[in-house]
Amino acid sequence: MAGAVSALFLLDIKGRVLVWRDYRGDVTALQAERFFTKLLDKEGDAEVHSPVVHDGAGVSYTFIQHNNVFLLTASRQNCNAASILLFLHRLVDVFKHYFEELEEESLRDNFVVVYELLDEMMDFGYPQYTEATILSEFIKTDAYRMEVTQRPPMAVTNAVSWRSEGIRYKKNEVFLDVVESVNILVNSNGQIVRSDIIGALKMRTFLSGMPECKLGLNDRVLLEAQGRATKGKAIDLDDIKFHQCVRLTRFENDRTISFVPPDGAFDLMTYRLTTQVKPLIWVEAQVEKHSRSRIEITVKARSQYKERSTGTNVEIEVPVPYDATNPNIRTSMGSASYAPERDAMVWKIKSFPGGKEYMCRAEFSLPSITSEEATPEKKAPIRVKFEIPYFTVSGIQVRYLKVIEKSGYQALPWVRYITMAGEYELRLI
């Protein structure tokens, strides 16, 4: 049974209450603050904590951290933990929509709006409206507050709760970004133990009226159902998640993605492909200990995508011993520096064309006290970040994006593709 949240707190990095909203009157700010500061003191680092804690006195706390702000709910009832966490993330999204970034300062600057939002997003501890676009229809900031007569959002009275009627744009445009992130895990033997692709169709709509959109992808199931030839172009979407606007029953019946889009930016769908992919950037490192006091690391990075694509903002993080000093680093491309706070060397390459291989050599001094063989062999993986524009690993393609509105305007769809690294770890060191 989904219970309700008793109160919601926005706390600073030390766990002190900045703003709070009491929904049910059974948990006090003092109580929550005391518990949470104690929790922070005890563990030092909120990272090591599970996001849901029980205080032993009947109150469960659920929290997330965003910048220097903790968002915390206290509850005496049995809630749906997953959905509360999600609600907190939505709260962050809404705050970001309202004041661009959520941090302690922006909360202070906008605390009145925060109160209003908290009042509207949750009632009696149950989540309500969490779509920023809907909320901004009736919770205005100062500049707009006095001008408009306030009405409940039209959306509430519509069949679709995420879009209001009467939206007008001079130029009707839709932007669709297909963003794929590659997660890969390579073990110390060089085998890929796990790889998947998480893709997101991020949409920004600037459309008038109540448009009906229909999206066509090179989805194998759909193409085969339509009896079209699938010459290796089709892809299998394993797991899919849709925005609420997509008609799920319709998709279940005939794999058509049809929807009335919300206004502005939203994630239309996310998908996951578990097909194994070749690591787009392969990194190997060799460590040589020349004497008791000197360590030499050679890193080789190779791009394994087609030459016409170019990786950008490549960042390779190679772990080095925690007691290394005196870095001496040379690279064949880009720049590398020692990041002692991460116990790593970070090698950055602005532009990395396909089919190329670059090298980086680094030398560090080690304290000579420890005997060579006894140094515990503890290893963090090599981590890689990159972006490859105009390219998708999965081969997904937007075949069409139709926009139909009763006024009959022509909408321009813009589609772009990008691939980036997600959890990209190679334990090759």
Partner 1 sequence: MGMFGLQASGAAASWMVGRMGTDAHLYDDPEDAALPALLDSRFDGDKVDALKRLLALIAQGVDVAHLFPQVVKNVAAQSLEVKKLVYLYLLHYAEKRQNEALLSINIFQKDLSDINPLVRAWALRTMAGIRLHVVAPLVLVAVKKCARDPSPYVRKCAAYALCKLYDLLPEENTTLEEVVDVLLGDSSSGVVGAAAVAFNSVCPNGLTLIAKHFRKLCETLPDIEEWYQITLIEILLRYVIARHGLVKESAIFASNLSWEIQGAKDSVPVDNMSCIQAETVVNGVCGTFSSMTLLRHYIDEYSECFDGEGGKIRSPSVTTSTNEDVAILLKCTSPLLWSQNSGVILAAASVHWIMAPVQEVKIIVGPILFTLRSSPDATYVMLGNILVFAKTAPLLFAPYYEDFFICASDPYQTRALKLAIITTIATESSILAILEEFQDYIKDPNRRFVADTVAAIALCAEKLTSVTSTCLEGLLALVFYESSIANSVHLDGEDVVLVQAILSIKAIVKIDAASHEKVIIRLVRTLDVIKEPAARSLIIWIFGEYSSTGNLIPRIAPAVLKYLAWSFAAEVLETKLQILNTCAKVIIHAAEEHLQEFKRIVAYVIQLAACDLNYDVRDRARFLSGLLPFCANENDSSCRSQNADVCKELADHIFDGKIHSASNSDSNYRIYLPGSLSQVVLHAAPGYAPLPKPQSMVLIHKTMESTRGVANSSDSNNSDAESGSSANESGSLYDSESESGDLSDRDGTGSKQYSNDDGHNLHLQDGNQEAPLVNMYDGSVGQAHAGQVDENLASLISTDLTELMSKSALESWLDEAPTTPLVQNSIQASCARVSFTTRSFERKPKLHVLLDPSNSNGLSVLYAFSSEVSPNSRLLVCIDLFVENVTPDQLADISIKSEEASTSEHGMETSEGSASIPTPVQMEEIQSLAPQQTAKRVLQVHFHHHILPMKLSIFCNGKRHPAKLHPDIAYFVRPLPMDLNAFLCKENQLRGMFEYARRCTFKDHLQNPEHTEESVDNTDKNLLVAQSLASKLLSNANVHLVSMDMPVTFSIDDASGLCWRFCSEVLSSSNPCLITVVAEGHASGPLDLTIKVNCEDTVFGLNLLNRVVAIIE
Q: Which of residues 167-186 bind partner 1 (CB under 8 A)?
A: 175, 177, 179, 183, 185
202 binds partner 1 (CB under 8 A): yes
Give the number of residues in contact with partner 1, rule: CB under 8 A. 127
Give the one residue of 42, 44, 47, 229 binding partner 1; rule: CB under 8 A.
47
286 binds partner 1 (CB under 8 A): no
CA–CA–CA angle 88, 92, 97 (5° rounding):
145
Give the one residue of 38, 41, 67, 128 binding partner 1; rule: CB under 8 A.
128
Give the one residue of 240, 287, 346, 398 binding partner 1; rule: CB under 8 A.
240
Q: How far apart are CA 212 and CA 245, in angstroms?
A: 11
Q: Identify the helix (H) or strand (E) that includes residue 371.
A: none
159 binds partner 1 (CB under 8 A): yes
Give the one residue of 12, 13, 93, 97 binding partner 1; rule: CB under 8 A.
97
Q: Which is nearer to partner 1, 330 or 379 (CB)?
A: 379
Q: Which is nearer to partner 1, 77 or 298 (CB)?
A: 77
Q: How far apart are CA 177 and CA 175, in angstroms?
A: 7
Minimum gap (Å) between residue 71 Cβ and partner 1: 11
3-state secondary structure of 366: coil
- The answer to whether residues 182 and 420 touch, using CB atoms and an 8 Å cutoff, is yes
Q: Over 284-296, what HEC string results? A: EEEEEEEECCEEE
- Helix axes of 111-121 and 81-99: crossing angle, nearest 10 degrees: 140
Q: Which of residues 366-425 bind partner 1 (CB under 8 A)?
A: 370-371, 374, 376-381, 383, 387, 389, 416, 418, 420, 423, 425
Look at residues 127, 262, 145 and name the one whose alpha carbon lies nearest to residue 206.
Answer: 262
Q: How far apart are CA 387 and CA 305, in angstroms?
A: 12
Candidates 190-198, 226-234, 282-290, 293-301; binding stretch for partner 1 (CB under 8 A) = 190-198
Q: Which is nearer to partner 1, 48 or 229 (CB)?
A: 48
Candidates 19-27, 221-229, 278-286, 391-399; binding stretch for partner 1 (CB under 8 A) = 19-27
- The answer to whether residues 330 and 363 touch, using CB atoms and an 8 Å cutoff, is no
